Every structure is written in structure tokens, then in C-alpha cells.
Chain A
Amino acid sequence: MHKGKGMKFVGDSRVSAERKSNIPKDYSEYPGRTEAFWPNFLLKEWLVGAVFLVGFLTLTLAHPAPLEGVADPTSSSYIPLPDWYFLFLYELLKYQFASGPFVLFGILVLPGIAFGALLLAPFLDNGPGRRPHQRPVAVTMMLLAVASVVWLTYESASVVNWEERAEANKPIHPDEMTVDTSHPGYEFYEANCMTCHGGNLEGTGAGPALLDTEKTAEEIATIAREGIGGMGPNMFQGSDEELEKLVDFIVSSKQDGE
């Protein structure tokens, strides 16, 4: 770079009047097959990015983002669950040594040690060797931590019936939550089913929505008598005639008006 006397500027600015060459640096003397980022490597990187984007968009199209019903703070039956990447912390708090009187161990001490060690890893593992076998302690600790996170996440997620959860919490617009309370079957619904299936058949944490059920009238009648899944038998205890009215009410409340 030119310094000292004889510098020329554009007008009265600080921009040098001397134009610099615009040729990429020469990497041929670098060790190995070193390549220039611009433009050689960027072209390949762009292709990898495009392939990744196609895969990502395929995922997005195949699985629309979930949305549950509008938040109802008064609901007491909803079982909370964090997003999957917090499940391991959530599961940790279910262990006896990390809950109740020892909750600080679960929310501060253990995560604090784990994430603190992660943050300070270069100072805890400060030997000169970079290869994994030259630093057995650090590598073992990390493998244990990864195994614990995977295990806790699996333990937490495997007991959840995700499909049933999604089914029970389908989004129904608050404006569309209307049922025909004058229907002869409504009183039986109110007496037998409403606690779990909601005042508007919208479902609660305890029972799925019935608004858009795909079950036939016969199936609904059988389920009301004999139960299904987590629903026990004999939930409906009226006469067959009442059952018929109830089933008719549920079928007639279907959103698509079948």
C-alpha cells in the first residue's frame, strides 16, 4: 500500500485515486488442493444449499406447521409439553433427585454444570492435543452428556401419544364453536359427555373433539357404551332411545353439515 508523500485522492475525499487490481489471490502455493472461496467454492456451496433447501421445503409441504386450539387459561386438564428440544430438561425434573425439595438441583445445579462446562470447555480441556484419543476425559464427558440428552428426550417423548394429542387439540375457530342446544340429544350430551369432550364438542385434554369425527353413528353408539382407548366403558348409561338421540346430536353437529 502506498504511504507518505505522493498519495493521490479522488477530489478532496479520502478515497485513493489509484485503482487496485481485482484479481483473486493466488492460492497455488498453499498446502494441499486449496481453492479460492470466490468464485470457485461458492458455486459448489450454492449447489449444496439448493439441495438442502429442496429437502427443507419438502418437509415443510409434507407436514404443515401444527396449530392447536386457542389458549384457554381456565383449562385444567391440558397436559403441558415444551417443544422437543427442551424435553430433556423437562424430563430431568421428573426424577426424584431433581424435583420437590431437590428442585434446585434439577433447574440450576445440573444444567448449570453442564452448560457452564460447555461454555468453558476450552479452559477445562486445555491440553495441546486436538485428537479425541489425546483428551479422553473431555470426549468421555461429552459422549455421556449427549447420551443423557438423547435418553432423556426419548424417555420424555416416547410416552406421549402425539397423534392422539393432535387429534384432541385440533384448532377450531372460536367463532365457529356453536352447537344446537335445542337438539333433543343435547341434554344427554351435557349430562354424559361434556366434561371430557367440551361444551362445544371441541374436545379437551381428556377427550378428543367430536365436531369433525369420521366415525359413523353405529360406531359412536358402540363407543358410548363400550369405550375406546383411554375412555372407559359405560360412559353413557341412559336407555337405547336416549343413546339414539345423543348419537344423532353428535352426527348432526359435524362441521361440514353431513
Chain B
Amino acid sequence: MNEAMLAPDSTRPSDRASGEIRLVDVTKSFAPGSYAVKDINLTIPDGSYCCLLGPSGCGKTTILRMIAGHETPTSGEITIGGQSVVGLPPVRRGTAMMFQSYALFPHLSVLDNVAFYLKMRGVGKDERRRQARAMLERVQLDHLRDRVPAQLSGGQQQRVALARSLITNPRVLLLDEPLSALDEFLRLRMRGELKSLQAELGITFVHVTHTQPEAIALADLVVVMDTGQIDQAAPASTIFNQPTTPYVARFMGGQNVLTGKVEGQSGELLRMRTAEGWTFEMPAGQSPPAPGTTASAAIRRDRVTLRKRDAEGAVPANAVPGVVEATEYQGSYIKVTLNTGMVHAFVANVGDAAYAAEPVVAGDAVLASWLPADVHVLTKPDLGDAGVPYLDISH
């Protein structure tokens, strides 16, 4: 759309300041001896959409607030566009924050809400109202400019909050759970709007969420967090297909985690044996774990094939036996949960055609098998204490 409409004034430089965010060894502690986040190292490229993903209390909002300047790191360095911002007030960082539940001023009209950032920057009344109206036209809310926030729907409030944060033309927009206050239908719609807005503006978006599909759908860079630390920061497809830790594999859903002892390597394939005596193979990858050590591997749920199993025969390689615990219809596939005797349930997402060919019901004894190519080794063994998935999204 019209770029010029966004500009707060004509003096805005044509080349926008870089919105690259760098966190170096950032630690934040609210009380001595306990850390909200610890030793965070993260680079968010300029103009990217980054999602900080993790369960409540994992420190993702703390990171966002430190970038915004609403918290000061206990130690470490934060730079935006190459310039250190630690100790600077938010207004001098070129960032704007959109708060959870939007925090619109209940006593001000929509127009004055949007104009507020300009008012605090000393822009005259007529000028800031003119710019605020242009901004409201952009988010298609100009007809509601005289209303107060209480008279708006959730989606409209969200757009007002967006307009308010964007009016100063920030190089970084920080969004704290921006979609969590919306119902499912609106959430999907606003998700799309956020993504296209970011693409259009080309500025850096940092978005905090605890919902996996949201992060996967939006982000160029997904940062999965667990209790104050980053487990993996990578593009969504990498996070989803090649999680590095059992925590990420479980948290993102879509993966089964198996743990066993490494037996050895034959060619490209690494062999592993579980405590139950099942063996499986997988591509060894760049730095395979040494033989004799305990390691974990992840298997994609949708690559698992189920077969009914009648005889108590030997279990072949690359398979686990189990009893169907539950089946759940998901439209294009059926989620089948197996009890294999392991701590975590084993889940197979069977395509609807495959399921129709050989349906299984709860109580059936089955054999779940897969190809070695669909397995990959995790960098950390699953010791059972890795974070339990907060939301088990069965995709």
C-alpha cells in the first residue's frame, strides 16, 4: 500500500535504520539466585518476523520487554541496528511495543489513542490528528475514529493498537501475545493480517506467543524457549522437521521421541537399541553420538505406518509394538495414540485413505513402523526431565 501514508513526517529518511536485534549473553534476574532468562544469545535479522515461542513463565516476555526497554538486563548486551540500547528509554530505541490485551486508553477516542505517541513527541494537535487519520485509513478504521475503545470489537481494538504502535514508524515492532485475546476465527484472520503487514512494512517484528501453529505460520525465525533458555532458534520448517532437543520435538508436536543406547554405525546409518529391546536406524548426520552413549531420536508422526499385529512375534527393526489407546478424527488424517509402555504415548497420524484401508480401534494390538530416513538424532538425550509440552498440538 501507500508507504508515504505511514511516514510520521516528510523528514523521515528514505533508508530506514536497520532493525537487526542482537542479544549477547543476556541474563535477567528479578531475585538473587534465580533467573528469568540466562545467557541468551540471539540475532534477529533486520526485516524478519521472529516468534518467541514457549510456555508461560519461560522468559519470552522478559526478553521482549528487555528489547523494548521496559526491563533492564542484569548483564549482557542488547543492540538494535548495531547500536547498544541498554539503558536507553524505549523512545530512543526506535522500537514500539504492542501490549498484551492492547492497553488502549479507555478515556481517549480511537483517533487520540492512535495520535498518542505523536503527542508525547510534541507533534501539534492538527498534525498528529491528520497522521492518525491516515494511519486509521490504512487499517480501515477511519469510520470509527470518534469511538472509545470499549465500543470496539476485539479485532478492531487489535488494529487500533497496531496503528498506535506503528504511527511513529518504528524499526522494530514488539508484539506481546497479540492474538491471545481473540477468538479462534479472528485469530486466524488477524494472523494473516499481521504477516502481510510485516511483509509490506519490511520492519522487524518480534512476536511472543505460546501457540505453536501461530509461530510456525508467521515466523521467519522461530525461537523455542524453555525455562529461561533458548532451545532452538531456526526457521519454522527446521524447527518442525529437525528439532534438536527432545523438548523442542515434543513442544512443537508432530514428533515421537525415542531414547536408547547407540550400538554402532554401519555406513550412513546409526543403530540404536531401546531399553525394551527394540532397535532402529537413522541417518547418522554431522556429529553422531558415540557408541555406548544414551541418545534420543525423533520420528515424525505422519511418517508412521500402522499394521495390525496378531502374533506375539519378534519386533522387526524400525518399529514399536503397542496397543491403540484412542483414535481422533482430524479431517485429512486420523490421530492414533498408542500405548507402548513408554512414559510418553506414541502417536501416529495416519492419512485418511490409509486409515480407511486398514482401520484400527481402541484396544487393537498394532505395530508402528517407519523408514530410517524419517528419523533424526537429537543433540540431547531425553532424560525425562525435559520440559513437558505445554500444549500438545497434534499436527
**Are A and B bound to each other?**
no
Q: Which residues of A contact B (CB under 8 A)?
A: none
